[in-house]
Structure 1
Amino acid sequence: MVWTPVVLYLSLVSYTSLAQGNTRLFSSFTTVYSIPIHKYYFPFIFLLGMFLWSLLEYLIHRFVFHMKPPASNYYLITLHFLLHGQHHKSPFDSSRLVFPPVPASIVIGFFYGILQLLLPEVLGLSVFAGGLCGYVVYDMMHYYLHYGSPKKGTYLYGLKAYHVKHHFEHQKSGFGITTRFWDHPFGTLIPEETFEKED
């Protein structure tokens, strides 16, 4: 309810701005070889943002949520527990499944700033809109993986089984939530034989 209207608004602003035909890639370096970005590219840029979010989702889950704070650092241990440890301790606590909007907006604002530094304004906004949509999908899917009842044999059923394995058997692997894709190249895929045993 909070982020979907923002995604729709930013998408409209991005598409409208790209439709003006003034956006060019690499124009700050060279005017001769700069590439015009047309409004027809918006869906692809948006999907790129969603794809980048899936990578960010994996990296945050693996390296922030599953970090090993030093045993002597009370503050890092507490932060880790609040960020993700409590969720693993009580995986069916519905108040621990979705990041609250106020702290989420701080993190989201940080990534928006990075994109604005790296890309032309409208292009960065388009990627950001896709990334924010990816975040919304992630939040909804994570909630569903804990509380939904997907039909056996469906994609979501497989993801739910995968996520349950991460929670209860393989906490050092299976960091993908919306997809297992990034677990493949990073070598953190949960072994397939653990699923075959159940069948």
Structure 2
Amino acid sequence: MNLRQLVVAYFQYPAVIAYLALSALSIGVFVARPAPVLPTLAAVIISVLLYPLVWYGLHRFVLHSRWMFKVPMLAATWKRIHYDHHQNPNHLEILFGALHTTLPTIFLATAPIGWALGGLGGAAAAFATGLLTTCAYEFCHCIQHLAYSPKHPMLVMMKQRHMAHHFHDESGNFGITNFFWDRLFGTSYAKVSERKKSQTVFNLGYTPEIAKRWPKVAELSGGVATGHPASRIKH
């Protein structure tokens, strides 16, 4: 896959179109009800800087939680937003999160800050920033999962670490483009040789034994993910 094919594939995802459309709508709201320059800049900068921390926390403590599948009302959501992605990282139809979970999260992580700084205009600017930042993150996520070989050293590093998260040890490298918080909290690893191979990298700890007690995800998935995807998924 070359860069042009990557870009074409990226814009075929409905989530990307939704993020761009909502960001354009938010920018329109800002134009109609603008906030002062300094509050707007503050809202934008804080949203950009806060985004990696929010993603790290959600990825580590929610998406990789071992409590969501125990709650009947949340089991299907957990399966869709991350279990399916890990049991088959090459299942590109679910590469992006479900909009009914991502959009409220982006809004709550950005809009209140913008509102506090600049009212409606500040909230619109912050929300648009969160949406566009998400688009940038998801483009890098496409690079990491699609058959594209990046040449820039930083993109190469990102892809290597994210693939290690998916195929070696899921308890580290929670960042997508930013690994500062991984380094700060001790969950970063640059080489697979630094860690022992995880036995739950494809099922996130939802093992056959666990499924006997909390069967909802297994019932929805037709079983529990065990072994490498290439050995159990027909292509």
SS in 2 for 1:127: helix
Q: What is the CA-CA distance between 1:104 and the residue it aligns to?
A: 3.4
Q: What is the CA-CA distance between 1:116 and the residue it aligns to?
A: 6.2
Indicate the residue corresponding to 2:53 in structure 1.
55
Indicate the residue corresponding to 2:19 in structure 1.
3
Q: What is the CA-CA distance between 1:175 and the residue it aligns to?
A: 0.3
1: CA distance between counterparts of 2:166 and 2:173? 9
Cα gap change, 1:11 to 1:54, in 2 (>3 Å): farther
Greater Cα shift, 120-129 or 84-93 = 120-129
Indicate the residue corresponding to 2:88 in structure 1.
90
1: CA distance between counterparts of 2:76 and 2:65? 12
Q: Deviations over 1:130-150 (max 9, x none)?
A: 112111212222122100423
2: CA distance between counterparts of 1:63 and 1:78? 17
Cα gap change, 1:143 to 1:76, in 2 (>3 Å): same
Amino acid in structure 2 at the alignment position of 1:136: C
Indicate the residue corresponding to 1:149 in structure 2.
148
Q: Is the 8 A contact 1:115 1:128 kept in 2?
A: no
> Whose helix fraction is larger, Structure 1's or Structure 2's?
2
Q: What is the CA-CA distance between 1:38 and the residue it aligns to?
A: 2.2
1: CA distance between counterparts of 2:99 and 2:64? 22
1: CA distance between counterparts of 2:150 and 2:46? 29
| Aligned positions of 1:20-59 closer than 5 A | 23=35, 37-38=36-37, 42=40, 45-59=43-57
2: CA distance between counterparts of 1:66 and 1:165? 15
1: CA distance between counterparts of 2:191 and 2:143? 22
| Aligned positions of 1:60-79 closer than 5 A | 60-69=58-67, 73-79=71-77
Greater Cα shift, 174-183 or 93-102 = 93-102
- Aligned alpha-carbon RMSD (Å): 3.0
The answer to whether 1:182 aligns with 2:181 is yes
- Normalised by the length of structure 2, the TM-score is 0.63
Percent identity (aligned): 23
Aligned residues, how many?
177
2: CA distance between counterparts of 1:78 and 1:12? 35
SS in 2 for 1:183: helix
Unaligned segments of structure 2, at least 5 residues: 1-16, 195-235
Indicate the residue corresponding to 2:161 in structure 1.
162
Amino acid in structure 1 at the alignment position of 2:18: V
Unaligned segments of structure 1, at least 5 residues: 24-36
SS in 1 for 2:176: coil
1: CA distance between counterparts of 2:56 and 2:176? 8
- Normalised by the length of structure 1, the TM-score is 0.72
SS in 1 for 2:89: coil
| Aligned positions of 1:105-116 closer than 5 A | 105-111=103-109, 114-115=112-113
Indicate the residue corresponding to 1:27 in structure 2.
none
